[in-house]
Amino acid sequence: MIKGFSKLSQKEKIDVLLEEFKLPQSFKDTLEHHQHSELQEIYNQFSENTLSNFYMPYGVAPGFVINGKEYAIPMTIEESSVVAAASKAAKFWSNRGGFQTKVISTLKVGQLFFTTDFGYIKLLEELTDIKEHLLSSITEISHSMEQRGGGIHTMKLNQEPLVDKETYCLMVSFETVDSMGANFINSCLEKMGEALCNYLKSKGAEAEVNMAILSNYTPDCIVECTLSCAIEDLKAYSGDYTPDEFAQRFKKAVLLAQHNSSRAVTHNKGIMNGIDAVVLATGNDFRAIEAGVHAYAAQSGQYSSLTKVKLTENEFKYTLTIPLALGTVGGLTKLHPLAGLSLRLLGNPSATELMQIIAAAGMANNFSAIAALVTSGIQKGHMKMHLSNILSTFNATSEEIGMAIDHFGTHVISHSAVKSYLELLRNNE
């Protein structure tokens, strides 16, 4: 058992691991190779026991037109074809009105769980006074946020009868403007918890705070993104089908995702390919986004598609509605050099503008994925992009890469097929 690991220097941590687990020198060499010669001290601050950096591709999908404004969207992702799919969709829709987006609401939620013998009826009777007392307790914390237009919006008392008869939850909604707001919300809730216990004890009741923390379920922090065009314009994506046939096949794919949960998970994952990539690139919390999005997709009691399609005689209309709790100040958004660069590339957007940009990225990837699924199939484009990765694993030369690309233009791509093809080339040299 390694003891005192966190107190060791970065170099000492690596050496201890080599010795303890009998690792080869190449382990140390690889870690040191991926350390940044100038910025490593900054990266070390982002997490604990940092040994090195795990690099991810940082790409850009240009040509997005969102509400009439053009963007080149930064994307951090390792999955083949995501950036290409987003770029292709962006180019197609840029000549057809682009991505039309709107923010429906921006409220985030915090939860103050507490236990008391004061009684539910008495709590309701005292609720107005309790709210005033709690608000006054956080004046110092909330002053700066309120000056920027944020602060506490509402408070609601809920019982937790499935836990026990004396446990309650005070649901507090917050406006956090351009910050994601986690630290602000948690600080407010903890201070409010102290004030609540003191208030109830002054009334002769026993009271205890169980937990005080934000919720990553944000059904009131919603953005909507819509694509629409004449059905005949879909010919660019329809492949061997007519535009009308393509539109009907597309609609059926979305309906299946609305009513079949297993399909819905993969359908929504296609949306998150684009969303997570931009969330990462801008220094936001993709885990929080993922948790909130999937909870929202299951709010009816059945996990379902986040998108809806509507066809009229002549028009195709596709809409995504999704919760996105984001920030453009605080956290890594300015500390991480590439996160700051991403925001500058996007024109230093507000949090609400960033919500719309990221929703458009998700919509672009989903549209491209569904279009491929209902025509040529998802693997054709995906494996074409994946071919370069496979060739790299076999240390293919530039000449071999060129020959392989030509060969697999008309042959099925797989790891074993590429291996066999390269072996054939090399045996014939």
Please say whether the dihedral angle defined by the alpha carbons of residues 349, 352, 355 and 361, taken in this order, is positive or negative: negative
108 is catalytic: no
Of residues 412 and 309, more confidence is placed in 309
Q: In whole angstroms, what is the distance from residue 137 CA to residue 169 CA?
A: 18
406: annotated active-site residue: no
**Number of domains present in the structure of the chain:** 4
Inside any domain, residue 40: yes
The verdict on 255 and 308 lying in the same domain is yes
22 and 120 belong to one structural domain: no
Residue tagged active-site, from 79, 126, 220, 245: 79
pLDDT at 394: 83
Same domain, 258 and 358: yes
181 and 321 in a common domain: no
Q: Is 29 a catalytic residue?
A: no
Give yes or no: residues 277 and 210 share one domain: no
233 and 372 within one domain: yes
- Give 287: exposed, middle or buried? Use CB within 10 Å, 0-12, 13-18, 19+: exposed
198: containing domain: 108-215
Q: Closest Cα partner for 325 from 426, 138, 179, 186?
A: 179
User: Do 364 and 412 have their domain in common?
Assistant: no
Among the listed residues 88, 108, 382, 386, the single catalytic one is: 382
pLDDT in tens, 90-119: 999 999 999 999 999 999 999 999 999 999
Residues 361 and 406 in one domain: no
Residues 137 and 14 reside in one and the same domain? no
Same domain, 186 and 316: no
- Report the length, in residues, of the chain: 429
79 given a catalytic annotation: yes
Mean pLDDT (whole number) for 256-265: 98
Q: Which residue has better confidence, 353 or 424?
A: 353
Tell me: do 360 and 276 sit in the same domain.
Answer: yes
Examine the fold and report which residue of 181, 215, 249 is the final residue of a domain before the chain moves on. Answer: 215
Q: Same domain, yes or no, for 230 and 84?
A: yes
Report the chain's terminal Cα–Cα distance, integer Å.
Answer: 52
> Within a domain: residue 50?
no
CA distances to 42, 150, 182, 214, 286 from 147, in Å:
31, 7, 18, 21, 28
pLDDT at 379 over 80: no
Q: Which residues are CB-neighbours of 135 under 8 A, at least 6 positions away?
A: 142, 152
Task: Please identify which residue in the block is written with the tokens 């919390």.
Answer: 285
Asked whether residue 52 is assigned to any structural domain, the reply reads no
User: The domain spanning residue 193 has which CATH number?
Assistant: 3.30.70.420
Kindly state whether residue 263 falls inside one of the protein's structural domains. Answer: yes
Considering the candidates 175, 178, 276, 285, report the single residue annotated as catalytic: 285
Q: Catalytic pick from 28, 122, 133, 269?
A: 269
CB 207 within 8 A of CB 114: yes
* Predicted confidence (pLDDT) per residue in 60-72, tens digit: 999 999 999 999 9
